[in-house]
Structure 1
Amino acid sequence: MPAIPKKDAAQVLREAPEPWRSYLIKARAAERIADPLRRCLAFPDLPGNHWPEGHAAAHCAYHALQRVPTMSLDTLEGYLQRKDIKGLRAKMDGYLDRHFAKEGQGEDIHMMFGAFDESDRSDRLSQRWLMSAPDDPYANLARADYLLEKAWKVRGKEYVAKTPEGNMENMHSLVDRAMPLFDKASKLEPRLMPAYIGMMSAAMLIGRSDLIEAAFASAQKQDPACLLLVRQRLQILLPRWGGSYARSAAYMAELAPHLKEHPGLATYFSVPYLDQASYFEGDDFYKAPAAALVDHAVDVGSYDDALQQAGDIALNRVDAPSDEWRSLALLLQEARFRYGNAWADRMIAWDLVQSEPEWALHYLARAQKLEPANAQLQYLLGAAYHNTHRFALAQQHYEAAIKDPKQRHRSLRELSTMWLFDAGLDGKTGAIKAKPFVDRLLAEYPKDGRGWIYHFDCLGRLGQSIPMEELKQFLAVADRSDPRQIKTIAGIESALEKAGQASK
């Protein structure tokens, strides 16, 4: 992949309006930094936001930690096979101490237990750990986390009325088994924040607000500014889980004194506003009321989902003009923090592929890992390689895009112009390379005036005459508002007029 070249700021995206151009110049400079954390820290914040001081840096650090793996299940299995329970306990204690450290604070303890899911392997390892160390708080937590994940899986995402009764009974049984383990873990190690968060999640699943509040009260005594606790609490306070937006607002006000020391907490202040916006469905999501809620969500915090949704709305408003520059800025801000959304990466590349193709390729590489067969991706890869003069690769991706009717027309056009005009070939060689695509373009889109122009160009380069009937066909379908076609129209009409006068 070509590096993003160094470029004078005066030459970067000159067509972009302010404040977006200044933002994009700084973003481009940050994108040239290879180290993920340094890149994130060098990125500009969104213009006009009201984030707490240090908020974006805290968000950068959080994602940087996620990219550095904590203990994997493979490593855990190694400890258990060696029967090194003492070493395993020391490792867990180190993670927990780091959570409460004044310097070098980290969320490793949360990341570690996030590795337990509903899989058979998590079942087997958590059971083995608990059997090896029944009074170890971390072993109890691991087993409880597995049971809770299994309960959520059994519950599914349907409304209760649409969930089979057997699933609901199984869910309750799993929660009943998990709760005592969470409780034991928290009593054995009162600082173990994931245990309280697990209890809150389990109680939320079965609708026990009394257990939620008890677990939250205990957690508050240990670390009221725990990032993952705040996330869980704001989720529980949503109306869909029995809370209210007023209670959410009151809780965020309670957290305000902690923001100076823990500015990353504001990341989740976006959640209540996003939730309100989620009730707008279909086109209503792309109108002013929902847009205002999502815009407020990104104004108070840099929550990744909020940035993406705001970018989507800015691009696809149905009651106002599309704002592509603002959308690009929002989606780049999301990409500043996290990887992983192919649609957003393609939209970023769409805006950059003509003037900044090397930059676009960085996002297309990300999208390709997630949705390699996507036809729009294939078109954009073709365009990016075309604009970076890697013509064979461009043809490969354009030809993949042609298989999709939505990408076919533009891909055939660009393949035609690439070989005729952009690849630096001599006239005849360029015509030979372009002709299959020009012929197909004209066959499938006979009213495309530019297709006729490329056809005439091929004939001329190959020493063939242009039939009079084809000239008339072109004039009948030509787009007289297209500057490229206007020039050709004038030339042909002038030639036909002279030919007519000469024949008189």
Structure 2
Amino acid sequence: MTSRVWWLLAAGGVAICGVLGWSVYLSRATPAVRVQAPHMVRTRPMKPAFTEVELQTFLQEARQAEAIADPLQRCLAYPEPPGVNWSKDVTAAYCHYGLDPAINGKDARELIEHGRVHELEERLADIKRAQFSEPGAQNKLDRTYNIVFADGSDGARALLDAWKRQSPDNPYALAASGSAYVAMAQRQRGSGYAKDTPQASFEAMHRLIELGRDDLDRAAALDPQMTPAYNAMLMAAGLDSDGAYAADAAKRALKVDPASYPVYARLAWMSQPKWGGTVPQMQRVIDQAQQHASQNPMLRLLLSERSGGEEYVENCACDPFAEAEMYRHVFAEAAPTRMLMRAGWAAQERRNIALSAIYRSELLRFDPSELDQRQSRAFLLIELGQTEWGLAEGNTLVKLAPREEDSYDVRGQAYRALGDAAHAAEDFEQALRLNPTDTWTLSALGDLYVNVTHEWDKGWVIANRLLQQSPDEPLGWILRATIQKSQPRDGLDETIRQFTERYGNDPTKQPVLQQLQAMKSP
């Protein structure tokens, strides 16, 4: 189930020393060090990050905001997380950056399809002028390209080719085409580990990057202020591990736009230790960006990465108080979606359900397209007692993604929490039809049959499927023994004997063995 597991977003690193070696911005590289977590030296009393009342108020206000149909207005109306003080100017700028293109995709498509590309180019030129001259318009052209043209679909490719045929030497057309090629390359690369990615995918990625770089280089040569071209160059450099190309693109971009959020965000991402960088390198990039935060408040988003970025929040050996301290320290200001995504996953792994729900809610505020994050959060809402909201989310997810088993699992879990076993079973059964080997769904359905509806024959079938598919997991054994004890059905002693022979010497299985032995008749 994609919403209940984590897939590493390994888009490919670059040679960070090459990217960040310009003396004008960074001093000599220092050895990598691990920044001490705030919980390791306690300077404040241990206390929860927020009260239960504050949590429930946040969830109530988040649900009210999510009822707003317009994505931008929903984002602007969203509550800030409890227990911290996010700046409204930062969150408002980030809402506009992700959700407010200065020209929408439908209008751009119609202008290209009707042969009116010069009108499109004039509108984009006006947007660029505003980006460089009007207060509050920082990154206006960048965000428009990121939302409208950085599309890796075949349909977008055909549309942009039509634009280039009509206007082959126009920098706006070339920047859009190059951005789309890089998005296609990223799609070819996928999100898996390099060892799990077919060589053919890498070859296709490299071909697309070359096509993209040709267009992007031409766009920047024709118009050195074409900032979306530099942003796409940095993405291409990251995919292709080309540090020299990244360094050149970054220097050219910051020369024309010293307060560029997309450039600094990409440089901070590239500086992470996982891509060969160091925490001090990240800090120097972020500190340099803060010198321009008065011109572009979104640069304050990067403060959340000063302690080490995604790896820092993922690898915290946190108890609940340390988790709360990290939340107050790392997320004192709004954070980029990639940080919110990793923090949401990590908090759930550490069983901090409330924090995970907050991180994922704020992620969905800024990027409502993250369907798997919405599915994951829906399970958390049910655990937090927001069962009616969980059911409403389940109904919505079934409409949005009717071919994904997670959608039915969410709704089934909500029905189960509401005591509606019949509808819960229907949804779990539909999820299994979509993915017959999903262990979570098998477990949920088996538990329902055995412990709620007492449909012993159906439960027996599920228990046997679990034992055949995942014999090392305890639930299949427990379901089988429970049926044998409660129906009753012959074979309880044999089930306990088989489990003991397999796992009697495994210390991790002793609690399960004790539970099974307790089922024996006196």
Question: Smaller-chain TM-score range?
Answer: 0.5 to 0.7
Q: Distance in 1 between matches of 2:213 and 2:406?
A: 48
Q: Distance in 1 between matches of 2:197 and 2:137?
A: 47
Q: Which structure is larger by alpha-carbon Rg, 1 or 2?
A: 1
- Note the 1:288-303 alignment, pairs <5 A: 288=318, 295=327, 297-303=330-336
Q: Distance in 2 between matches of 1:310 and 1:166?
A: 29
Offset of residue 440 of structure 1: 5.1
1:236 and 2:270 matched: yes
Instruction: Give per-residue Cα distances to partners, 1:345-397, cap 9 Å, x unaligned.
Output: 34444443684322212332454356646666535424534666878755633
Equivalent in the alignment of 1:411: 448
Answer whether contact 1:368 1:377 (CA < 8 A) is retained: yes
Offset of residue 160 of structure 1: 9.8
1:258 partner SS: coil
Q: Distance in 1 between matches of 2:49 and 2:277?
A: 42
Offset of residue 133 of structure 1: 1.7
1:316 and 2:353 matched: no
Answer 1 or 2: which has greater helix percent. Answer: 1
Offset of residue 252 of structure 1: 1.0
Instruction: Give per-residue Cα distances to partners, 1:162-183, cap 9 Å, x unaligned.
Output: 9759965x76665555445323
Aligned with 1:197 (options 215, 219, 231): 231
> Which one has more relative contact order, counting CA pairs under 8 Å at least 6 apart?
2
Q: Distance in 2 between matches of 1:70 and 1:92?
A: 11
Equivalent in the alignment of 2:60: 28
1:326 and 2:355 matched: yes
1:212 partner SS: helix
Q: Distance in 2 between matches of 1:414 and 1:373?
A: 28
Equivalent in the alignment of 2:220: 186
In the alignment of these two chains, the number of paired residues is 410
Answer whether contact 1:349 1:361 (CA < 8 A) is retained: no
Equivalent in the alignment of 1:306: 339
- Note the 1:360-379 alignment, pairs <5 A: 360-368=390-398, 372=402, 377-379=407-409
1:135 partner SS: coil
1:60 and 2:104 matched: no
The one-letter amino acid paired with 1:308 is M
Q: TM-score, normalised by structure 2?
A: 0.63
1:253 and 2:282 matched: no
Equivalent in the alignment of 1:487: none
When residues 342 and 139 of structure 1 are mapped into structure 2, their CA distance, relative to the original with a 3 A threshold, is: closer
Answer whether contact 2:272 2:279 (CA < 8 A) is retained: yes
Equivalent in the alignment of 1:221: 255
1:126 and 2:164 matched: no
Q: Distance in 2 between matches of 1:98 and 1:361?
A: 44
Answer whether contact 2:354 2:384 (CA < 8 A) is retained: no
Offset of residue 109 of structure 1: 4.7
The one-letter amino acid paired with 2:359 is L
Q: Distance in 2 between matches of 1:117 and 1:182?
A: 15
When residues 26 and 79 of structure 1 are mapped into structure 2, their CA distance, relative to the original with a 3 A threshold, is: closer
When residues 146 and 55 of structure 1 are mapped into structure 2, their CA distance, relative to the original with a 3 A threshold, is: closer
Equivalent in the alignment of 2:382: 352
Answer whether contact 1:353 1:360 (CA < 8 A) is retained: no
When residues 234 and 407 of structure 1 are mapped into structure 2, their CA distance, relative to the original with a 3 A threshold, is: same
1:336 and 2:365 matched: yes
1:112 and 2:149 matched: no
Q: Percent identity?
A: 21
Answer whether contact 2:127 2:141 (CA < 8 A) is retained: yes
Structure 2 alignment gaps of length 5 or more: 1-47, 464-478, 493-522
Equivalent in the alignment of 2:27: none
When residues 377 and 254 of structure 1 are mapped into structure 2, their CA distance, relative to the original with a 3 A threshold, is: same
Q: Distance in 2 between matches of 1:308 and 1:268?
A: 15
Answer whether contact 1:331 1:348 (CA < 8 A) is retained: no
Between stretches 54-63 and 171-180, larger displacement belongs to: 171-180
Offset of residue 193 of structure 1: 0.9
Answer whether contact 1:59 1:264 (CA < 8 A) is retained: yes
- Note the 1:431-470 alignment, pairs <5 A: 437=455, 445=479, 448=482
The one-letter amino acid paired with 1:201 is M
When residues 107 and 380 of structure 1 are mapped into structure 2, their CA distance, relative to the original with a 3 A threshold, is: same
Instruction: Give per-residue Cα distances to partners, 1:222-251, cap 9 Å, x unaligned.
Output: 222222222222233335556443222112
When residues 261 and 393 of structure 1 are mapped into structure 2, their CA distance, relative to the original with a 3 A threshold, is: farther
Equivalent in the alignment of 2:26: none
Answer whether contact 2:49 2:324 (CA < 8 A) is retained: no
Q: TM-score, normalised by structure 1?
A: 0.64
Q: Distance in 1 between matches of 2:450 and 2:206?
A: 60
Equivalent in the alignment of 1:95: 127
When residues 304 and 391 of structure 1 are mapped into structure 2, their CA distance, relative to the original with a 3 A threshold, is: same
Structure 1 alignment gaps of length 5 or more: 1-15, 417-435, 456-468, 474-504
Offset of residue 194 of structure 1: 0.5
Answer whether contact 1:37 1:61 (CA < 8 A) is retained: yes
Equivalent in the alignment of 1:84: 116
Q: Distance in 2 between matches of 1:381 and 1:164?
A: 39
When residues 341 and 82 of structure 1 are mapped into structure 2, their CA distance, relative to the original with a 3 A threshold, is: closer
Between stretches 205-214 and 230-239, larger displacement belongs to: 205-214
Cα-Cα RMSD: 4.6
When residues 365 and 51 of structure 1 are mapped into structure 2, their CA distance, relative to the original with a 3 A threshold, is: same
The one-letter amino acid paired with 2:63 is E
When residues 410 and 227 of structure 1 are mapped into structure 2, their CA distance, relative to the original with a 3 A threshold, is: same
Equivalent in the alignment of 2:296: 262
Q: Distance in 1 between matches of 2:201 and 2:301?
A: 38
When residues 109 and 324 of structure 1 are mapped into structure 2, their CA distance, relative to the original with a 3 A threshold, is: closer
